[in-house]
Structure 1
Amino acid sequence: MDNRPIGVFDSGVGGLSAVRRLEKLLPGEDIVYFGDTGRMPYGTRSRETIIGYSKEIIAFLLEKDVKMLVAACGTISSNLPDSVVKALPVPYTGVMLPAAQVAAATTSNGRIGLIGTTATVRSGLFGKAIRSIRPETKLFGKACPLLVPMVEEGLLEEDNEIVRLTLEMYLSSIKKENVDTLILGCTHFSLLYNQVDRVMESKVTLVDAAGAAAQYVQSFLTERDMLGDSSRKGKTRFFVSSEPEAFCETAQKFLGRSISADLRVQVLGK
C-alpha cells in the first residue's frame, strides 16, 4: 500500500481529461495536478523550451512526494528525452506510449491517424513508437494548433459551430487516408471527443491518449502493489501558474464540480 499522491501535469487544462479518468478508475488515490496556464501553449514552442518547463514542473511535483509522474500532455510526452525520464526517482509515463500501444492493437488495416500539437506531430515519435510495435503500420499525422486555445477558452459545447468547422478543416486530409483508427494525441482533444467522432462520421475508432494513460497507471500501480488505501476517498489538489479563475471555470465544466477550494497558484521559473 502506498498512499502518496499521483503527480499529473500538463501545459494547461487538457490534463484534466486524465484526472477525470484517474478519479474514476482509482477513486482511492490522491492526485496533485499542475497546469502551466501561465506559459501555455506548449505546442508551438521549441523542444528545448518544452524540456526546460517540464523539468521545473517535475521538480515541483517531486517536492509533493508523488509516487508516480504522469505527463498528461502529448507535447511533453513526445519531447521529453529518455535521459530525463531515466533519471527520475519515481515511475513515469507520458500519454504517447500508452496511446501508441492501444492504437497498434486496435487497427485492422494498419492505417492510423494522429492529431496533435505542432510539436507533437513534428517530433515523429508517435510513429516511431507505433512502428516499434507493428512495423508495417502507416501513421498519418495532422497538427491542429487552433484546437488547444479553443479548449482553453472553454469552447466545449458539442454543437459549437466554430469547433466543428475547425475540426472539418483539420480532419479532411486524415479522412482521405482511409484510416480506421485515430489517436487524439493531445489531452486537450479528449474534451472534444464527441465532436471529433461526429466529424469522422463514427467510422473510425478513436484512441483517447488521456484515457490510455490512465489505464496504464491503474495497471502499473496494481501490478506493483503501489495502490493507496481503497477504503478511503482520494483527494485531488490543483496548482496552476496563472489565471486560476479561468481554469476553475473550465475545470468545473469538465469535472462537474467546483475545485476553487483545492486550487492554488504556483509560479515556476523565477
Structure 2
Amino acid sequence: MTNRPLIGVFDSGFGGLTVLRELLHHLPGADFLYLGDTAHLPYGSKSQAAITRYTRAAIRELVSRGAELVVIACNTASALALPSLQDNAPVPLVGVVGPGAEAAAAIVPPDSTVLVLATEGTCNSHAYAEACATHGLQAVEKPCPLFVPLVEEGWTDGPITEQIADVYLQEALAAAPQPPQAIVLGCTHYPLLRPLLQREIAKLDGNIPIVDSAEATARHTVTLLPTAANPGSAEPRLHFLATDAAAKFQRFAPRFLGREIPTVELITLED
C-alpha cells in the first residue's frame, strides 16, 4: 500500500508533458497518470462545447483510475472548459491560465503590462487577459501560430525559428500600450522555445522576465498537495494514456518530458 497521491494530467496531446515535467520536479512524492487526447487535437479549432465535452470525458477517465486531483495541462481547455466544469468536478481541478497570471503578478509592479504569447484559440478566448485583470495587470495577447509546428519538428533554435520569433515579438511590442514588464508563455509547447525567446527579447527590449505557466501550475499544485513536495523513498510511478497515435506520442514524449517513456496505453474516451 502507498499513501502517495495520484495526480491526473490531461492535455489535448503531448504538449502538456512540459507541465508533467514541472510537476515531477516540484511534487516528487506523487504518482502521475497522463492522458493525451490525441484523437481530437488540435483543440484550438474546436468549438467550446466540444472542448468541454472532451475535457469532461478525460476528467471522468482519470478519476475512474484513481486520480485525486486533475491538472488541465492545456491552455485551450483551461480557458474554455475549466470554468464550467470546476464547481461540479468530482476532484479538485487545476488549470494553467490562472497560475500563469498569478506568477506574473508576483514579479511585476501593479498596473503593469504583461505580454502573453499563446495560440490563436487561447488568445481569442481572452482568458489570460481576464486572469491578469484580476491581479490589476493589462495583458497584450499575441498569437504565435507557427511556434507549435516548429516545436513539433524539433526546430527550437536556428535562424528560421529566430526570424519568426523576432517578427512575433516586434509585432507584440508595437501593439503594447506600454513596454511589457513580463512575458507569459501561454502554450505548453512554448517552454521548449524559452532560451531562444529570452535571447530574442534581449535584442529588442532588454531583459524582460519570462513566466512559464507550466512551472507556475506545478508550484500552485504544491499548495494543494504540500506533502507530495517531499520526495519519499520511491520514484514516482508514471502511466500514459492516449486516444490515438500511441507510437507518435511515445516518440515525441522525450522532447517534451525530457525522458523516455516505456509504453502508452491506447484508450477510447466515452462522451
Fold equivalence (TM over 0.5)? yes
In structure 1, list runs of 5 or more residues that go unmatched: none
* CA deviations over 1:23-64 (Å, ceiling 9, x no partner): 111222110011122221112222122111111211111111
- After alignment, is 167-176 or 120-129 more displaced? 167-176
Match of residue 198 from structure 1: 199
Aligned 8 A contact 1:113 1:183 in 2: yes
Match of residue 123 from structure 2: 121
- Give secondary structure in 2 for the equivalent of 1:190: helix
Task: State the 4+ residue runs in structure 1 displaced beyond 4 angstroms.
Answer: 225-229
1:55 and 1:149, CA in 2 relative to 1: closer, same or farther beyond 3 A? farther
- Give secondary structure in 1 for the equivalent of 2:46: coil
Shift of 1:229: 7.5
Aligned 8 A contact 1:13 1:251 in 2: yes
- d(CA) in 1 for partners of 2:86 and 2:56? 10
- d(CA) in 2 for partners of 1:46 and 1:146? 21
* CA deviations over 1:216-256 (Å, ceiling 9, x no partner): 1112111xx57788222211111112222222222123333
- Give secondary structure in 1 for the equivalent of 2:134: helix
- Give secondary structure in 1 for the equivalent of 2:90: coil
Amino acid at match of 1:183: V
- d(CA) in 2 for partners of 1:169 and 1:2? 49
1:182 and 1:230, CA in 2 relative to 1: closer, same or farther beyond 3 A? same
Match of residue 219 from structure 1: 223
Match of residue 36 from structure 2: 35
1:256 and 1:143, CA in 2 relative to 1: closer, same or farther beyond 3 A? closer
- d(CA) in 2 for partners of 1:236 and 1:250? 16
Q: In the alignment, does 2:147 pair up with 1:147?
A: yes
Percent of aligned pairs sharing the same letter: 32
* CA deviations over 1:40-90 (Å, ceiling 9, x no partner): 111222212211111121111111110101011111111125331110111
Aligned 8 A contact 1:41 1:149 in 2: no
Aligned 8 A contact 1:11 1:42 in 2: yes
1:210 and 1:195, CA in 2 relative to 1: closer, same or farther beyond 3 A? same
Amino acid at match of 1:204: I
1:24 and 1:84, CA in 2 relative to 1: closer, same or farther beyond 3 A? same
- d(CA) in 2 for partners of 1:9 and 1:197? 28
Amino acid at match of 1:254: F
Match of residue 248 from structure 1: 250
Match of residue 77 from structure 1: 78
In the TM superposition, what are the counterparts of 1:226-245 in structure 2 within 5 Å? 230-245=232-247
In structure 2, list runs of 5 or more residues that go unmatched: none
Match of residue 175 from structure 1: 173
Shift of 1:152: 3.1
Q: In the alignment, does 2:50 pair up with 1:46?
A: no
- d(CA) in 1 for partners of 2:41 and 2:214? 18
Give the superposed CA RMSD.
2.1
Match of residue 263 from structure 1: 264
Match of residue 103 from structure 2: 102
- Give secondary structure in 2 for the equivalent of 1:187: coil
* CA deviations over 1:177-232 (Å, ceiling 9, x no partner): 3112011011111121112212212621111011000111112111xx57788222
Number of residue-to-residue matches in the alignment: 263
In the TM superposition, what are the counterparts of 1:83-98 in structure 2 within 5 Å? 83-98=84-99
